[in-house]
Amino acid sequence: MTRLIFAANWKMHLGPEGARKFMEEFMEAYRPQSDREVWFFPSAVAVETVAIQLRDRSDVRVGVQNVFWEQKGAFTGELSVSMAKEAGVTAALVGHSERRHVFGETDEETSRKVTALLEAGLTPVLCVGEKLEEREAGETISVVKRQLGVLEGLDPEILAGIPIAYEPVWAIGTGRTATPADAAEVHSAIRTWFGGRGADTGSVKILYGGSVKVENVHALVSEPDVDGVLVGGASLDPAQWATIASTSID
Ligand code: PEP
């Protein structure tokens, strides 16, 4: 069984041409490993380019960074799940902290996106995480549980197939990383939350995100409760990303 997921969130970087060059260099540098998958979340205009380049690779997946829950219609600027699927996408980030805190996405909107993705057979990767003031007030676990609440009521088997990315807001793009022990503590609470809803906790994938880089990735993925990483800045250089995705685990 695949143990680890190394996921790259390119945010608002790399159009189709940049993505094509990136993938050429990455594929040259990265050797597939049976214990892991590499997932890419390019910009919406680059997903098809990446999907085409990766179509023969079962260890690599492509997703979008955001979707809208309606099927189609007068929603200027939005991207439907079926359009993403047609472009070769099999997953989507939902509730990334930049969506929540820059664009004001609510838990209710996150919930509608999760439902739309599941209905279309795509994998939502639900991002959760506390702000600095919430951590300092001792509210980390309660914030994360509130954000997980959008999955409440799902069939346990479906639940177990939804990866969670724990990304403390204060660690994203700041150079500050949670210690492996901090990450493990929250990951363990997330796994317990899944167990409480009947999901097979051994199958649930819980990724850590927040200033992951070559220097700290080994310690993070060596924690038994950390099933992979979601990486922004350090995933933008193909050689560096190949090194991160090739990290050995203890
Ligand atoms: C992210 O975008 O999900 C992220 C964790 O970014 P960074 O690695 O740059 O902190």
Catalytic residue among 105, 109, 167, 223: 167
Question: What pLDDT sits at residue 173?
Answer: 83
> Is 96 assigned a catalytic role?
yes
Q: Is the CB of 95 under 6 A from ligand 1?
A: no
Of ligand 1's listed atoms, the one at least distance from the Cα of 172 is 10
Q: Is the CB of 172 under 6 A from ligand 1?
A: yes
Residue nearest to atom 8 of ligand 1 (CA): 232
Decide if pLDDT at 1 tops 60.
no
> Which long-range contacts (C-beta less than 8 Å, at least 24 apart) are formed by 176-181?
176/210, 176/211, 177/210, 177/211, 177/212, 177/216, 177/220, 178/208, 178/210, 180/219, 180/220, 180/222, 180/223, 180/226, 181/223
- Mean pLDDT for 75-96 is 97
- Mean pLDDT for 90-116 is 97
> Is 136 assigned a catalytic role?
no
The residue count for the chain: 250
Of ligand 1's listed atoms, the one at least distance from the Cα of 234 is 8
Q: Is the CB of 211 under 6 A from ligand 1?
A: yes
Give pLDDT tens digits for 197-248.
999 999 999 999 999 999 999 999 999 999 999 999 999 999 999 999 999 9
Question: What pLDDT sits at residue 190?
Answer: 98
- Mean pLDDT for 173-183 is 88
Which burial class, exposed, middle or buried, applies to 112 when counting CB atoms under 10 A from its CB (0-12, 13-18, 19+)? Answer: middle
What's the pTM?
A: 0.96
Q: Is the CB of 209 under 6 A from ligand 1?
A: yes
Among 6, 64, 212, the mutation site with the greatest number of ligand 1 atoms within 8 A of its Cβ is: 212
Q: pLDDT above 70 covers what percent of the chain? A: 99
Q: Is the CB of 217 under 6 A from ligand 1?
A: no
Q: Identify the helix (H) or strand (E) that includes residue 166.
A: strand 164-166
Ligand 1 geometric centre to CA of 66 (Å): 15
Q: Identify the helix (H) or strand (E) that includes residue 22.
A: helix 16-29
Q: Say how far apart CA 139 and CA 128 lie, in whole Å.
A: 13
Question: What pLDDT sits at residue 175?
Answer: 83
Residue nearest to atom 2 of ligand 1 (CA): 232
* CA nearest to 64, candidates 120, 146, 129, 4: 120
Q: Is the CB of 230 under 6 A from ligand 1?
A: yes
The CA-based dihedral angle spanning residues 168, 169, 173, 178, taken in that order and rounded to the nearest 10 degrees: -30
